Structure 1
């Protein structure tokens, strides 16, 4: 348990206390943005690997008690959440977005706010949050709570961290974009600042998300040893 907790703490705190904070600004001022990104990426990969190995070991440990059971209803809700999660993740990764790494230049485009960005300016992170929440719903054991709870916390806090970082770096340019969009999915649409235009998302992106989702559902028993549908 100690190793898994340490891995979760390392991975979350690495992002909460460094990425998107003034500590990052200080580090990049000293060593430059390129070296920082390289070191941060290495640390993130190492932390994620540590988290994965720690979770695998913890699943069969005697202390890994479960606090809630899976039901047919929670399985169905989980499948729906995962579908939405991969839609947000895949579309988010393939849509030009000024909140993504090295894509601040997209703010100069007059049509930057379109498609998924009308729904949320952080589609990838909200996808991760939905993925983590869905897994928590059907995995009530201590190891899963630590792993997926950490990922949920990181995804949600990451949205505000990125907003703060972009605001410091881009000032009025960022403000203009932020006032047209929302962090919380559909908030800008419900407030009347945006309208939903599904066609702008790109049908190929939606199809790619479906393919990835179906592939992972089918491959889940082989990749993780557990069925995703029962």
Structure 2
């Protein structure tokens, strides 16, 4: 568990203490945006790889305490949560979004707030958060709590971190987009600042999400060694 805990701490700290603070601004000012993004990407990949490998090593260890079991109802809830998670992840990644890397120019478009951005301006990160929640309820062991708990905390913290970075970098140009959208899913719609227009999602994005979901369900035991279907 020491390796997994260390890997999780490393992964969280490089995001919250570097990427999520003015340290990032200082580094970008000194070495440039491109070199910073390259170095940070390498650190992130290394940290994630370390965490996944450490999880694989400790998952079946006798010292990996189990705090709760998994029932049939829980498995079905997990399947539903994963569908929602994949929906947000796939559609979020394929929708132009000023919160994404190098996509600040979307703010200049009249239809900057469109599709899934009406639900949340951070669809990918909320997809990761829902993915983590689903895996937490079916992984009640110490290793699972460390891995998926880390991803949950980091994804939610990432939404506020990105908002702060965009506000610092874009100033007044950021405010109209932020005021028309919400971080928390459906909050802007419930507040009356936005409306749900599912037609803007198109057909290809939801279809891609369904295909990815199906592939992961079928391939889960081959990719991760665990059967996903009840």
TM-score tier (shorter): over 0.9
Structure-2 separation of matches of 1:5 and 1:225: 22
Structure-2 separation of matches of 1:50 and 1:14: 14
What is the aligned partner in structure 2 of residue 67 from structure 1? 67
1:9-28 residue pairs with structure 2 within 5 A? Answer: 9-28=9-28
Structure-1 separation of matches of 2:30 and 2:47: 24
Structure-1 separation of matches of 2:77 and 2:180: 31
Cα displacement string for residues 81-102 of structure 1 (whole angstroms, at most 9, x for unaligned residues):
0000000000000000000000
Unaligned runs of 5+ in 1: none
What is the aligned partner in structure 1 of residue 134 from structure 2? 134
Aligned residues: 230
What is the aligned partner in structure 1 of residue 121 from structure 2? 121
Structure-1 separation of matches of 2:153 and 2:37: 22
What is the aligned partner in structure 2 of residue 42 from structure 1? 42
1:48-63 residue pairs with structure 2 within 5 A? Answer: 48-63=48-63
What is the aligned partner in structure 2 of residue 146 from structure 1? 146
Cα displacement string for residues 146-199 of structure 1 (whole angstroms, at most 9, x for unaligned residues):
000000000000000000000001111101110000000000000111110001
Structure-2 separation of matches of 1:95 and 1:85: 15
Cα displacement string for residues 176-224 of structure 1 (whole angstroms, at most 9, x for unaligned residues):
1100000000000001111100010121100000000000000011111
Consecutive aligned runs of 4 or more in structure 1 exceeding 4 Å deviation: none
Asked if 1:182 is matched to 2:188, the reply is no
Cα displacement string for residues 32-88 of structure 1 (whole angstroms, at most 9, x for unaligned residues):
000000000000000011001100001122210110000111101100000000000
Unaligned runs of 5+ in 2: none
Q: How far is the alpha carbon of 1:20 from its aligned partner?
A: 3.0
Structure-2 separation of matches of 1:202 and 1:66: 43
1:69-218 residue pairs with structure 2 within 5 A? Answer: 69-218=69-218
Asked if 1:7 is matched to 2:7, the reply is yes
Q: TM-score, normalised by structure 2?
A: 0.99
Structure-2 separation of matches of 1:65 and 1:78: 21
Aligned CA-pair RMSD: 0.6
Structure-2 separation of matches of 1:119 and 1:92: 11
